[in-house]
């Protein structure tokens, strides 16, 4: 299981970075989404995967004993997912506005800021 | 009430940003509320600062969960000093925003987002939990995306796309580093990580996580190979927004570097070499960039990069003198960089341009104002006894003691090139005769404004100049403060014991 997740994480990172480096702004958004998912999977993986051991304390006991899945990474991922949703929504609107104003999807055309004014 | 005094700066900004949302269309009312809010925040920040100064590090446990398990807010000297500086810069910029940012922009919730930005900054400085730091970073960048793109002009949107892409990427790298670190130590509390990182056997992975942190924070703080987004985006929004970005957003990256490297990766030899090299290259590239620019906003932007190098260099030396120099420089830099961009906004209002070739004769037209502007410019160079001079003594001394002559050379080069560029700027903008220009007719010039409006323009600049003068002439106090912070940073046990209550 770990090996599959590790490969998937690697593929998501690689494809995300590749897409960010493309010239098209739509691909930039796709890259951002892929990279965000890759990061989430990485945190999930590094929190150690434990099968079928939910971290719930029995009503009879006071502390959790034995092997259990770490709940912290899941809380982290949940937070990270919500944040990246917000950012992706903003990115889509931003790119749409930029496309409307500049009439181009090519990041290389965005060079008026480098001129002196 | 004093139990939770540390989180009051956060509460104030949160309250005012929500309050401002209820007056979405009443722009004039928003201006008043925002200035009042920032004045309150300044008062609270001073109160918190004095409280911590007298009583030592103070922590707040959220939800009463004790330290390694719950999120803690740690008010140590470094954090509260930066909160105070944020409040000073925020107060000045909010006053400047009321007059310099046009109504069409203010109508889209400018002030509300501005308070959210300050909330995020204060949170980032005060938190003691590394994942919480990530969350505050996200609050900062989301607010800054809105501020940079509000108004939707052509070059603004271009700048926003670049700024967005690189900052998002930085956040993802930061999150990756965090994931790797969590996998190694199994905790998120920075004090707890600091204790547990020494026991980790796999040192390669520790170094990998350190380099990932360096890249993530490095993009945010604009160090050498990662700064290219900054000159492409910081000059596009209105000057008030540029000012708060220049003063605080890159510095929060430096703060995170200081915090993480002092607490978690202190004195790692590989990182020391890496940071040292990057610092030298940052100073060189920033300085050389500044000298070829013609737009004063761009000149100031390259100065940001150049002077980030000073701080990173001091951090790389990692001695007590160097850290004191870094902290002093940070204090000086936040105020001065904010002020420089406010000044560029003022110059734009007077002359309708910030291009040095078209500018000129400012000293002939406005002698008193020019003298006021001279103080921050000379402080930036570090002419004694102004504020830039004092931290450089510590930095020069520390680099000489550590026999890092390349860094010493870079620091001298950085100071010299600042002097040359400011001299060029002074002669071009203030002394040269005004070249013939076809001025746009619709523009409202500075001399057409009423007295109250002129005052609102000049007051923030004068206020920040006054703070700079205090830093320069009251250097003894600031030096003592910096040394105290440096001692706290170099002796991790103080921080760890305070947080974990051992």
pLDDT tens track for B330-367:
999 999 999 999 999 998 888 888 888 888 888 888 88
- pLDDT score of A111 more than 80: no
- Domain CATH number, residue A17: 1.10.287.3510
Which of chain A's residues have a Cβ under 8 Å away from the Cβ of B169?
Answer: 20, 35
Tokens of B320: 């007590």
Which of chain B's residues have a Cβ under 8 Å away from the Cβ of A86?
Answer: 142
pTM: 0.93
Residues 24-43 of A with CB under 8 A from B: 25, 28, 32, 35-36, 39, 42-43
- Which among A39, A91, A111 has the least Cβ separation from residue B172? A39
pLDDT tens track for B193-220:
988 888 888 888 888 999 999 999 999 9
Give domain status of residue A64, yes or no: no
- Which among A43, A72, A94 has the least Cβ separation from residue B160? A94
| Gap between the Cα atoms of B42 and B247, Å rounded | 16
pLDDT of residue A117: 52
Residue A99 lies in domain: 2-50+70-109
Give domain status of residue A116, yes or no: no
pLDDT tens track for A15-31:
999 999 888 889 999 99
In chain A, the number of structural domains is 1
Contact yes or no for B124/B252 (Cβ under 8 A) = yes
Of B1-10, B145-154, B469-478, which gets the smallest average pLDDT? B1-10
Closest CA to B406 of B257, B281, B226, B271: B281
- Which among A39, A47, A95 has the least Cβ separation from residue B182? A47
Q: Average pLDDT for residues B385-399, to the nearest whole number?
A: 89
Give domain status of residue A86, yes or no: yes
Tokens of B46: 């001073």
**Which residues have CB under 8 Å from A73's CB, separation 6+?**
A43, A44, A46, A47, B179, B182
- pLDDT score of B122 more than 90: yes
Give domain status of residue A60, yes or no: no
pLDDT of residue B1: 43
Testing the interface with A: which of B175, B209, B355 to mutate, by most A Cβ within 10 A? B175
Give domain status of residue A58, yes or no: no
pLDDT of residue B263: 87
Give me the percent of chain B exceeding a pLDDT of 90.
Answer: 51
CB contact under 8 A, B165 and A28: yes
Q: How many helices (H) and strands (E) does chain A have?
A: 3, 0
pLDDT of residue A48: 80
Q: Output the DSSP codes for B411-450.
A: HHHHHHHHHHHHHHHIIIIIISPPPP----SS---GGGS-
Q: Residue B137: closest CA among chain A residues belongs to which residue?
A: A83
pLDDT of residue B438: 67
Of A3-7, B148-152, B310-314, which gets the smallest average pLDDT? B148-152
pLDDT tens track for B2-43:
568 888 999 999 999 999 999 888 888 999 999 999 999 999
- Mean pLDDT across chain B: 89
Which of chain A's residues have a Cβ under 8 Å away from the Cβ of B180?
Answer: 42, 46
- pLDDT score of A115 more than 80: no
- pLDDT score of A107 more than 50: yes
Give domain status of residue A62, yes or no: no
Closest CA to B180 of A47, A14, A81: A47
Residues B239-248 as b/e (b if ≥16 CB within 10 A, e otherwise) read bbbbbbbbbb
- pLDDT score of A64 more than 60: yes
Q: Average pLDDT for residues A100-108, to the nearest whole number?
A: 85
Give domain status of residue A7, yes or no: yes
| Gap between the Cα atoms of B81 and B330, Å rounded | 10
Contact yes or no for B300/B54 (Cβ under 8 A) = no
Q: Average pLDDT for residues B420-444, to the nearest whole number?
A: 82
């Amino acid at each position: 299981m770990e090996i599959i997740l590790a490969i998937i994480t690697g593929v998501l990172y690689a494809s995300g970075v590749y897409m960010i480096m493309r010239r098209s702004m739509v691909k930039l958004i796709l890259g951002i989404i892929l990279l965000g998912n890759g990061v989430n999977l990485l945190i999930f993986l590094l929190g150690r995967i434990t099968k079928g051991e939910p971290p719930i304390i029995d009503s009879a006991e006071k502390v959790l004993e034995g092997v259990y899945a770490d709940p912290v990474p899941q809380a982290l991922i949940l937070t990270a997912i919500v944040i990246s949703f917000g950012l992706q929504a903003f990115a889509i609107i931003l790119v749409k506005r930029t496309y409307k104003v500049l009439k181009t999807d090519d990041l290389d055309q965005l060079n008026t800021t480098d001129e002196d004014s | 009430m004093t139990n939770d005094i540390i989180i009051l700066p956060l509460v104030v900004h949160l309250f005012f940003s929500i309050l401002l949302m209820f007056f979405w269309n009443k722009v004039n009312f928003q201006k008043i509320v925002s200035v009042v809010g920032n004045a309150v925040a300044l008062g609270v920040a001073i109160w918190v600062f004095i409280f911590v100064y007298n009583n030592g590090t103070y922590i707040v446990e959220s939800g009463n969960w004790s330290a390694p398990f719950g999120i803690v807010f740690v008010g140590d000297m470094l954090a509260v000093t930066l909160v105070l500086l944020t409040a000073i810069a925020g107060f000045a910029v909010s006053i400047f925003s009321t007059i310099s940012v046009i109504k069409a922009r203010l109508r889209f919730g400018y002030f509300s987002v501005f308070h959210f930005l300050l909330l995020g900054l204060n949170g980032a400085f005060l938190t003691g939990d590394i994942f919480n730091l990530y969350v505050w970073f996200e609050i900062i960048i989301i607010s800054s995306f809105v501020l940079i793109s509000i108004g939707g002009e052509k070059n603004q949107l271009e700048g926003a796309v670049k700024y967005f892409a690189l900052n998002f990427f930085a956040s993802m790298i930061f999150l990756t580093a965090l994931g790797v670190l969590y996998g190694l130590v199994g905790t998120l509390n920075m004090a707890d990580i600091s204790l547990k990182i020494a026991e980790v056997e796999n040192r390669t992975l520790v170094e990998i996580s350190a380099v990932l942190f360096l890249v993530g924070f490095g993009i945010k703080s604009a160090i050498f190979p990662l700064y290219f987004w900054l000159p492409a985006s910081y000059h596009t929004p209105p000057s008030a927004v540029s000012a708060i970005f220049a003063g605080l957003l890159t510095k929060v990256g430096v703060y995170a570097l200081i915090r993480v490297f002092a607490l978690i990766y202190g004195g790692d030899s590989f990182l020391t070499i890496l940071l040292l090299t990057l610092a030298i290259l940052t100073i060189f590239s920033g300085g050389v960039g500044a000298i070829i620019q013609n737009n004063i906003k761009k000149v100031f932007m390259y100065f940001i990069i150049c002077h980030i190098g000073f701080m990173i260099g001091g951090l790389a030396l990692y001695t007590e003198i160097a850290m004191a120099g870094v902290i002093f420089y940070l204090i000086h830099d936040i105020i001065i960089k904010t002020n420089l961009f406010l000044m560029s906004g003022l110059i734009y209002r007077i002359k309708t341009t910030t291009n040095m070739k078209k500018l000129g004769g400012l000293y002939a037209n406005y002698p008193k104002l020019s003298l006021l502007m001279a103080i921050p410019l000379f402080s930036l160079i570090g002419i004694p006894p102004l504020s830039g001079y004092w931290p450089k003594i510590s930095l020069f001394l520390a680099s000489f003691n550590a026999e890092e002559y390349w860094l010493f050379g870079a620091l001298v080069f950085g100071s010299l090139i600042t002097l040359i560029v400011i001299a060029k700027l002074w002669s071009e903008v203030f002394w040269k005769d005004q070249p013939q220009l076809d001025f746009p007719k619709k523009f409202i010039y500075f001399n057409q404004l009423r007295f109250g409006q002129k005052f609102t323009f000049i007051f923030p600049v004068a206020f920040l100049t006054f703070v700079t003068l205090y830093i320069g002439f009251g250097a003894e106090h600031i030096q003592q403060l910096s040394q105290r912070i440096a001692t706290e940073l170099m002796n991790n046990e103080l921080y760890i014991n305070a947080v974990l209550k051992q």
